[in-house]
Amino acid sequence: MSDPAVCSFITKILCAQGGGVPSEALPQHLELPGQQLERILQEAGNERFLVARQGLSCRVLAVSSVRLCLRNECGGCDCLHICKNYIQGRCYRPASGRGSCKYSHDVFSETNRKVLKNHELSGLNEDELRVLLLQNDPFLLPDVCNFYNKGEGNCQQDNCNKLHVCRFFLRGKCRFLKCKRSHNLLQPNTLKLLLAGGVDDKMAWNIQTICDHKTAELARELGSQKVHPSNPTVSTHGEEKKHIVGIEGEHKSSPDQASLLHVFMDHLQQQRPATRDLKSRGVGQEFPVKSSRYGDQGSLTPMPRPEARVKQIQISGVKAAPPPPPPKSTQDEEKKKNNEICLFYVWQFCKRKNNCDMIHYHLPYRWQVYTGTNWNDLSQMEEIEKAYCDPTITSLLNPPINFKTMMSYTNPVRRQSTPSSVTKPAKFIFTTKWLWYWKNDLNQWVEYGQQDGQRQGSSLSSDDLENLFLSQPDGTFQFQAGSQQYEINFKDMIQRNLLYQTQREVQRRPKYVSPEDVKKKKGHQDQSPASIPEPKYPKEWDKSLLPVIGYKSIEVSKASSEYTTMEKLFQKTMNDYTIVSIKRIQNPSLWQVFQWQKEQMKKKKGGQDIEEKLLFHGTGWSNLEAICNDNFDWRICGTNGTVYGKGSYFARDAQYSHKYCQAEAKLKNMFVARVLVGDFVVGHATYNRPPAKSAGLTNCYDSCVDKMLDPSIFVIFEKYQIYPAYIISYTEEKKCVVA
């Protein structure tokens, strides 16, 4: 049996490096003979260390059966009792005191220490334990979609933010040889949700490999000879492909741990100086990978040896060095960076140099492939970009890239670029100009705002769509072209006629810029008139605090007329309560979309002004950030009633909204929103959208109310009709009133 202390130390090393270490890097942290290391890993078994193939190399992954307790109240079990949100780094409640979290934030409580000791994990610190749990406990991953996992797997929900993955696969309990649910955690939509849930690219690969292995082991136990370890090898219809992640050949069961350990040991014995390139061992050789001369981000090189060893420590008679701080690799640096290319670096130079939080690259675009551990530059960058800019091209054969799925075989592909042109002034000449297309009856791609010779062109331009898309990438919105009303779904990239229900494909592709164009424009500014007019913001806004993405909250001065206006509006019905602060929300993206929606509503009414109101909305503290960033959405923020329809509720009187603020909080928060109420009608609980004014499906009201005469409650179904303008923070400590 392997030494528990040594196994705990190896687990600590693996978790300190993100959950797994390439076979070439593990000996750097241990002073153990090769045969002894092989014996330790073999004795520990794949319940503790999983040795997985990655190309022709191997990777050792940390595996554990330790889990978080799923019960709210527990009389004692062999699971850790820690707040799930705390482990994910998302619990903002204090650990104790008023308003504290009802779940424990004490990772190393006496009970948890016993659990960790039973699982031989006593040596891990909090960060290392977090990595181990994220990699092994499916409870910490984003929720799995229930609709996708039932029947035919049809999820009808727009903007579904849950994983469309087989729930049993994540638990290692899928018994179907040809499961019709996806087993692929690395496909773009799933990977996007995992990244948002705190799982990085490397850990996603680790989780995929661990789940693959468990699936293969279960199939072996059931006596099956044909295994489906991973749905990167299976299409959505269950058809098999030839490449299986971590397994060579087709229809083979998972290689046993011993055989992989021999492969692992071969690599240890063939170890060369750290200057040897891993690509010579076959990693990434399915793809034409390019070494970058413009910075080393994305390069694939072995982990360097530490320059010096720290003081030796003794573990059960075996000398081992504690893991040094993780080397600052280019991959670690890249994770900290914004995923956009620096405009200043492309233009001429960036004075922030290595301190810049954006990517430094010589072109305004960059194509990379994920080979399992790193993102590597693709060769033929210009050819790939030129093809991608053509909306008629959906894939390439050489190199093999599917632009719809952004995959090359089973490996994710990504395109990094400079910021969108709609987010920057026209003087920034290397922004990415995105063009939006729809497919007509002749299968021709037509840019929005242009006529195709068959019908009247839409008043909607590519820039309009780009603004809307950036504000809500998974959203839907409606617009009018001629006499017809349409809806665009950004998630599915589909345009639908609301009357005839016909659908057309939609594409978003960049305008092509060649490397020669970049060289000519370097160091110059665009002297031509701006093609995009500068947006007009409210006069009260601080123009120096306009973020490209997200929002800024600015406290309004009590001496200003702006503060007085909001104070009077609030105190009409809340005169006995004390206002602590009023903060203005400056979100340029949401404001531009709000103004665009107002213009669209005006066009529908023949140029008549749209009624706009300042209304209140009470909510809990947990929703503030989401609303300021992404606007009101009753599907996400929830609703406290659907008497007048399923939408976002707003009140004329602050006193009404006060009832829906967080009850236990001493300091309460209430939104003041600008709302385009337009034409309204009395609502009904069954309404999912405002009813039609007449028999025509496209001639609908704009909102619903509680009563037609002097309404006090408004229900908005289209989020673009709302702008969260202010947050009023106040206390329930009533003012002293002298009789």
Confidence class for position 237, pLDDT limits 50, 70, 90: very low
pLDDT of residue 572: 93
DSSP single-letter state for residue 244: B
How high is the pLDDT of residue 137? Answer: 92
Looking at per-residue pLDDT, the higher value among 647 and 605 belongs to 647
Query: What's the CA dihedral at 320, 321, 323, 328 to 10 degrees?
Result: -140
Q: How far apart are CA 305 and CA 112, in angstroms?
A: 35
Residue 131 pLDDT exceeds 50: yes
Q: Tell which wins on pLDDT, 436 or 283.
A: 436
Residue 606 scores a pLDDT above 70: yes
| CA–CA distance, 320 with 312 (Å, rounded to integer) | 6
Tokens describing residue 281: 């061992």
Confidence check: pLDDT of 251 > 80: no
Element (H, E) at 617: strand 612-618
Average pLDDT of the segment spanning 330-341: 59
**Residue 159 binned pLDDT confidence (cut-offs 50, 70, 90):** confident
Residue matched to tokens 């002004």: 609
Predicted confidence band at 337 (pLDDT cuts at 50, 70, 90)? low
Q: Is the pLDDT of residue 439 over 60?
A: yes
Instruction: Give the sheet arrangement for strand 407-408, strand by strand.
Output: 289-290, 375-378, 365-370, 411-417, 407-408, 401-402, 395-396
Does the pLDDT at position 305 exceed 50? no
Q: Is the dihedral of CA 215, 220, 224, 229 positive or negative?
A: positive
711 pLDDT tier (thresholds 50, 70, 90) = very high
Spatial CA neighbour of 659 closest among 642, 672, 640? 640
Least reliable range by pLDDT among 38-42, 275-279, 636-640: 275-279
* Stretch 577-593: mean pLDDT: 91
With beta carbons less than 8 A apart as the criterion, state whether 224 and 174 touch: no
Under the banding of pLDDT at 50, 70 and 90, the label for residue 211 is: very high
State the CB neighbour count (10 A cutoff) for residue 329. 16
Read off the pLDDT of residues 638-682 as tens digits, 9 standing for 90 and up.
Answer: 455 678 888 899 999 999 999 888 777 788 999 999 999 999 999
Average of pLDDT values for 134-157?
87
In the predicted model, is pLDDT for residue 412 greater than 80?
yes
Residue that wins the pLDDT comparison between 69 and 254: 69
Mean pLDDT value across residues 622-627: 86
Strand-pair partners of 319 = 314
pLDDT at 89 over 70: yes
In order of 363, 495, 549, 586, the CA distances from 724 in angstroms are 37, 28, 16, 9
Q: What's the chain's length in residues?
A: 739
- pLDDT tens digit string along 20-31? 888 777 776 776
Closest CA to 134 of 43, 61, 58: 61
Cα 645 to Cα 705: distance, rounded to the nearest angstrom: 9
Question: Where residue 558 falls among pLDDT bands split at 50, 70, 90?
Answer: very high
Question: What distance in Å separates the CA atoms of residue 330 and residue 314, rounded to the nearest whole number?
Answer: 32
Q: How far apart are CA 37 and CA 646, in angstroms?
A: 61
Angstrom distance (rounded) from CA 348 to CA 521: 10
**CB atoms < 10 A from the CB of 517, how many?**
13
Full DSSP string of 324-367: PPPP--HHHHHHHS-SBB-HHHHHS--TTGGG-SSB--SSSEEE
Strand partners, 408: 411
pLDDT per position as a tens digit, 343-352: 888 887 788 7
Q: How many CA atoms lie within 13 A of 732 on its CB side?
A: 11
What per-residue confidence (pLDDT) applies to 348? Answer: 77
pLDDT of res. 469: 87
Average pLDDT along the chain: 78
- Give me the pLDDT at residue 707, please: 92
- Percent of the chain at pLDDT > 70 equals 76
Strand ordering across the sheet containing 713-716:
552-555, 578-586, 722-731, 667-676, 612-618, 648-651, 713-716, 703-705, 680-682
pLDDT-based confidence at residue 141 (cuts at 50, 70, 90): very high
Q: What is the pTM of this model?
A: 0.42
Indicate the pLDDT class of residue 734, thresholds 50, 70 and 90.
low
> Cβ atoms within 10 A of the Cβ of 452, count?
16
Q: Which of 195, 173, 178, 177 is nearest to 186 (CA)?
A: 195
Q: Which pLDDT band, with edges at 50, 70 and 90, does 238 fall under? A: very low
Give the mean pLDDT of 281-288. 40
How many angstroms separate the CA atoms of 599 and 610, rounded? 9
pLDDT: is 288 or 211 the higher one?
211
Instruction: Give 341 or 251, the one with higher predicted confidence.
Output: 341
